[in-house]
Amino acid sequence: MSAIYTVEALDLETLRETSGPVIVEFGVGWCPWCQTAQPLMSQAFADSGVVHHRIEDGKGRPLGRAFGVKRWPTLIFLRDGEERARCVRPDAVETLREALSQIIDVD
């Protein structure tokens, strides 16, 4: 399973001004770790309603550097523009759900 990452990255200021929960995923489509994590993300985020941006990262991509991304996939969990959690190369649905719980209200 290959994820589609957009090369038209958001800028840091736009993300910082965003209200509500947002997940920003950095990676590339050919990355085996990114491909392996896709089913986990689909399961963890199903029915969450959270905006999930997939951003292509790499040389010359400043947004990933602004967040200190060094490995793919890296998921940044934002609430009202503030980082609340981060997952690097997630390998379990529970890990992703725990991070998601940091940005959404769980009843």
Q: What CATH number is given to the structural domain containing 52?
A: 3.40.30.10
> Would you say residue 85 lies in a domain?
yes
The pLDDT assigned to 2 comes to 61
- CB–CB of 7/60 below 8 Å? no
pLDDT number for residue 107: 47
3 lies in a domain? no
Enclosing H/E stretch for 18:
none
From first to last of its 107 residues, what are the pLDDT tens digits of the chain? Answer: 567 999 876 899 999 999 999 999 999 999 999 999 999 999 999 999 999 999 999 988 999 999 999 999 999 999 999 999 999 999 999 999 999 999 997 54
Structural domain includes residue 1: no
- Give the domain extent around 94: 12-101
Residue 107 lies in a domain: no
As for how many domains the chain has, the answer is 1
Which pLDDT value is given to residue 63? 94
Cα–Cα separations (whole angstroms), residue 27 to 19, 35, 81, 82: 24, 9, 20, 20
CB 50 within 8 A of CB 22: yes
Question: Residue length, the chain?
Answer: 107
Asked if residue 94 is part of any domain, the answer here is yes
Report if residue 6 sits inside a domain: no
Would residue 7 count as lying in a domain?
no
Q: Is residue 83 part of a domain?
A: yes
